[in-house]
Amino acid sequence: MSDLKLGFPGNEKNENFETPDNVAPPWDATTKFSVMGKPHPRLEAEDKVTGRAKYSYDIRFPDLIYAKMLRSPHASARVKSIDISKAKALPGVLYSEARQGLTVRYAGQGVAGIAAETEEILDDALALIEVEYEVLPCAVTVEDAMAPGAPQVLNGPNVGGRPGRGKERVDAVHKDADIVVEAEYRTQVQTHSCFETHGCVCKFDDDGSLTVWASTQSTFFTKTAIARAARVRPENVTVITEHMGGGFGSKFGADDWDRFCVLAARATKRPCRYLLDRRAEHLIAGNRPDSIQKCRFSANKNGTLMGAWVESWGTAGVGRGAGVQNPTIYRFRAAGSEQKDVRTHAGRGRAFRAPRHPQGVFALEGMIDEVAFALGMDPLALRQKNDAHPVRSAQWPVGQKAIGWRKTPRGNGAVKIGYGCAGSRWGHNARPGDAVRCRIGKDGSVLFANGSQDLGTGTRTLIAILGAEELGVPLSFVDVRLGHTTDPYGHASGGSVTAPSIAPVVKQAAWLAKRELLEHIAKKIGGDPKKMELTDGDVLGGKKKITFKQACALLPVDSIDVTGDSRNVFRVPRFSREVAGVQFARVAVDTETGLVKVQKIVSVQDCGQIVNELTVRSQMLGGVIQGLSYALFENRLLDRNTGDMVNADLLNYKIAGARDMPEIETIPFNVAQGGTTAGVSSLGEPATVPTAGAIANAVSHAIDARVRSLPITPDKVLAALGAL
Amino acid sequence: MADDKIRVSRRDILRGAGAAAILGTALPASAKEAAAKAPAGLTRHGPGAVPVSIGLNGKAAKVMVEPRVTLLDALRDRLDLTGAKRICDRGACGGCTVWVNGKTVNSCTMLAIDAAGADVRTVEGLAQNGKLHAVQAAFVEHDALQCGFCTSGMVMSCAALLKNNPKPTLDEIKAGIAGNLCRCGTYGHIFNAVQEASR
């Protein structure tokens, strides 16, 4: 039995653990890292700053053709007829499809498609298609879709969802509590607005094999879906995603337009590109569902949270999945929710960076503040009193100090200062199933290969760092190939599973390759391979010291080529059950104009074992900025009568820009987490969860009135002040 | 935007404007009809492809494009320079930023024929003699990028900012890139990178 030391300074614990013979020994709090945990620029950074990086959108061939679909301007309609003959007659039009008789359920649904020699011909052709619609009544808000006599969106009732459980118990707890607070919170629909829109480039080779350059968060899901759509055997499909321009949860698998692209490529025997235009990206490529959350919370005068009951409604358009993560995070005597999922005539919601969490936490943390106000307690103190998580409990004081909690007074002028905070929870989400290939060449080259994708999170660099660390060589020795489905399987990048799942597998592949290398070298230079080690590029413990490159040159084979997988590397004790984070905001609110200016955000985020400090900070920064954008600006606006989106561009759908930026202090919180041999945790999603809640609480503190609706626009601030 | 015929998109307007500017007429119903009615004494461009010569990253380049083709599309689809990106397609995001005669331009809102004879520099032509521009090097060092899709435009705007204002304050940096959007949320690291490059 050996000991595993887990946790962080001030809260460490020892776990008994014996490493199996065939498994890389786990890293813990006592591990001295040489590459891990430091800031490393990402491997592909130079390609991205010089314009060399090729995204799917950038893949070109001399005979490339372009595809696009005509999209319904109506949210609810029946297609009576489509006349595509004029379009087909246009020189340069190569392929077309008309969906006669289609029932349209949301604005933007594809009605007909064209593939053509150039994008200009494509636009001309689409303008020549004549569609006759029978326009039907639509319902695009939760209220309209729930009203008596509302048009039915799909088969079955518009309102679905899970019945709540345990309401009687919560009601009983409320009765015993000293105070009860009730309020209704609302959040908006947010579109992913990926800068590289959804889509792909498809190319058939003469032998019938198909290559797809896809902008996807899952090369392997895309491969399966495209193979099915094109009726090609999966083994004849290769999906490539070298670089991709943002997904945020909206890019799993293949879509309707990808299917059209692949059919056009096959019919014309030409490579074909279809990436959505900006308007379609807003309308049909995913969104975060909205919510109405009726909350009833109770507490005792000593600051003990008692009961929490939430009834919520939301819409994911024609899809489902509009729930909220509320109540959560804090210890309640009894808590529960009933969540209704309402179908409307609008584009389908998709997973969006921490689905359900930011909207739920906005309402939850608002309620916690309202309870604190009713109790006359400091809201931070109330949180600390009711938070049992070992990591978050340590994070609250760190954030409190960094923001200077409520040190600046509200002020007597028109501009008021306020402070707010909020927390987050997330799963560790390390999932078995990944495999990573490690190849060490006689020439000293090191390659790690995996077929999954780097969304811009820094996965490629993370793999290189983990590999270099375990192998005991400088980072510069290591290359990584990512995003080709000809390489071993890698998970879809959703749920923040990528880093925690692949980390122990990279470590395992490197460890296996290292053992094999040392066994070969021991025979050449003498020594016990079990006692030999590779450290900082040197082979130590043999009869003589040689460098890694010299060792590789001595290999009796051309290369060592091993594949590490996830067997056994997940059976490691874990420090805490959930990933924890807290954020603090300081805002300045102009009570005359209603304008909110965020001055500073502090994010303290549990990262498990930090692999790359630089990209960890980038993830945290991005989480905060997207959260700020959600809190103050973003809002998909649908015309209630026509169901069409009135701000389907990046001018009127506002996302945060440079001048909206506060000072953002990122404080990565390293925890020797265990759970896998690498101890790496989920980061991308939890980093964005608390921001809107923290900002909203700061606004309410500043103006001494509560805005219970996102985004917090000037009109809502003025209304809360009674000035409108 | 052919996705919806009801709307008049930026591309439609540009397409019309290309012909109108040259013909000196009001916005025509279709470029083809208007071109046929060109008044005497005016040069007719299009509706077919016309030759356009530009100085591109220090070299002469010639391309055949219809008058309605944007500079961005000419660069990407005809000249194989895919660094500049079409993101918003209406001059709102800066992802297609290039320099035309030393000034930053949203290349999605400029016609290729209007760049005729101009000196165009794209992100591919920013590094000199294999050495990264100070802004590019600082972007790498400070991880001022995530997915990287806005990066080409950001780099061009930041480099232009430093050309005009070698020692910008933080507020001046924010104002300098106010026309460039980033979805991943890299602004903080971009500010750090520009400050580093200005030292």
Which tens digit of pLDDT belongs to each residue from A55-80?
999 999 999 999 999 999 999 999 99
Percent of chain A with pLDDT over 70: 100
Per-residue pLDDT tens digits for A655-711: 999 999 999 999 999 999 999 999 999 999 999 999 999 999 999 999 999 999 999
Using the beta-carbon criterion (under 8 Å), do B186 and A621 form an inter-chain contact? yes
What does the pLDDT read at residue B2? 42
Domain that includes residue A122, residue range: 63-152
Instruction: Give yes or no: residues B17 and B95 share one domain.
Output: yes
Q: Which residues of A touch B32 (CB under 8 A)?
A: none
Total residue length of chain A: 724
Per DSSP, the three-state class of A621 is helix
Instruction: Give yes or no: residues A609 and A671 share one domain.
Output: yes
The answer to whether A213 touches A226, Cβ cutoff 8 Å, is: no
**Of all helices (H) and strands (E), which one includes residue A89?**
helix A85-89
Instruction: Inform me whether the pLDDT recorded for B31 exceeds 80.
Output: no
Q: Which amino acid, residue B14?
A: L
Instruction: Give yes or no: residues B54 and B85 share one domain.
Output: yes
Instruction: Give yes or no: residues A578 and A721 share one domain.
Output: yes
Instruction: Give yes or no: residues B116 and B63 share one domain.
Output: yes
Q: Which residues of A touch B81 (CB under 8 A)?
A: 51
Domain final residue pick, A535, A550, A572: A572
Q: Is residue A506 included in any domain, yes or no?
A: yes
Q: Is residue A321 included in any domain, yes or no?
A: no
Instruction: Give yes or no: residues A649 and A510 share one domain.
Output: no
Domain final residue pick, B97, B125, B153: B125
Instruction: Inform me whether the pLDDT recorded for A369 exceeds 70.
Output: yes
Instruction: Give yes or no: residues A550 and A669 share one domain.
Output: no
Instruction: Inform me whether the pLDDT recorded for B15 exceeds 60.
Output: no
Q: Is residue A206 included in any domain, yes or no?
A: no
Adjacency order of strands within the sheet including A435-441: A478-482, A446-450, A435-441, A559-565
Q: Which residues of B touch A108 (CB under 8 A)?
A: 3
Report B:148-167 residues touching A (Cβ under 8 A). Answer: 148-152, 155
- If one counts the domains in chain A, the total is 3
Using pLDDT thresholds of 50, 70 and 90, give the confidence band for residue A105: very high
Using the beta-carbon criterion (under 8 Å), do B143 and A52 form an inter-chain contact? no
Q: Give the list of residues 6+ apart from residue A699 with CB closer than 8 angstroms, or none.
A: A418, A420, A587, A589, A596, A707, A712, A717
Instruction: Give yes or no: residues B17 and B111 share one domain.
Output: yes
Instruction: Give yes or no: residues A566 and A579 share one domain.
Output: no
Q: Is residue B84 included in any domain, yes or no?
A: yes
Task: Say which CATH number the domain at B60 has.
Answer: 3.10.20.30
Using pLDDT thresholds of 50, 70 and 90, give the confidence band for residue B45: confident
Q: Is residue A191 included in any domain, yes or no?
A: no
Instruction: Inform me whether the pLDDT recorded for A32 exceeds 90.
Output: yes
Domain final residue pick, A522, A551, A572: A572
The answer to whether A663 touches A584, Cβ cutoff 8 Å, is: no
Instruction: Give yes or no: residues B23 and B88 share one domain.
Output: yes
Instruction: Inform me whether the pLDDT recorded for A322 exceeds 70.
Output: yes
> Residue B89: closest CA among chain A residues belongs to which residue?
A278
Instruction: Give yes or no: residues A24 and A112 share one domain.
Output: no
Q: Is residue A257 included in any domain, yes or no?
A: no
What gap in Å lies between CA A694 and CA A714, rounded to an integer? 18
ω into B39 cis (within 30 of 0): no
Instruction: Give yes or no: residues A512 and A580 share one domain.
Output: no
What does the pLDDT read at residue A464? 98
What does the pLDDT read at residue B7? 44
Q: Is residue A497 included in any domain, yes or no?
A: yes
Domain final residue pick, A554, A572, A590: A572
Percent of chain B with pLDDT over 70: 81
- If one counts the domains in chain B, the total is 2
Instruction: Give yes or no: residues A617 and A556 share one domain.
Output: no
Instruction: Give yes or no: residues B113 and B27 share one domain.
Output: yes
Instruction: Inform me whether the pLDDT recorded for A476 exceeds 80.
Output: yes
Domain final residue pick, B125, B154, B187: B125
Instruction: Give yes or no: residues A615 and A707 share one domain.
Output: yes
Instruction: Give yes or no: residues A72 and A143 share one domain.
Output: yes
The answer to whether A625 touches A453, Cβ cutoff 8 Å, is: no
Instruction: Give yes or no: residues B84 and B20 share one domain.
Output: yes
- Angle, helices A613-632 vs B187-197, to 10°: value is 120
Tokens of A206: 């003469």
Task: Say which CATH number the domain at A622 has.
Answer: 3.30.365.10
Residue of B149, B158, B174, B196 to mutate for A, most A C-beta atoms under 10 A: B149
Instruction: Give yes or no: residues A604 and A722 share one domain.
Output: yes
Q: Is residue A402 included in any domain, yes or no?
A: yes
Q: Give the list of residues 6+ apart from residue B51 with CB closer than 8 angstroms, or none.
A: B62, B63, B64
Instruction: Give yes or no: residues A610 and A518 share one domain.
Output: no
Q: ∠A674-A676-A681 over CA atoms, to 5°?
A: 70
Q: Which residues of B touch A649 (CB under 8 A)?
A: 88-90, 92
Instruction: Inform me whether the pLDDT recorded for B67 exceeds 90.
Output: yes
Give the ipTM of the model, two decimals please: 0.97
Instruction: Inform me whether the pLDDT recorded for B196 exceeds 60.
Output: yes
Instruction: Give yes or no: residues B70 and B150 share one domain.
Output: no
Residue B174 touches chain A, beta carbons under 8 Å:
yes
Total residue length of chain B: 199
Domain that includes residue B54, residue range: 10-125
To the nearest whole number, what is the mean pLDDT of chain A? 97
What does the pLDDT read at residue A87? 98
Average pLDDT over residues A172-198: 98
Q: Is residue A344 included in any domain, yes or no?
A: no
Instruction: Inform me whether the pLDDT recorded for B12 exceeds 60.
Output: no
Higher-confidence residue of A230 and A439: namely: A439
Average pLDDT over residues B123-146: 97
Instruction: Give yes or no: residues B120 and B144 share one domain.
Output: no
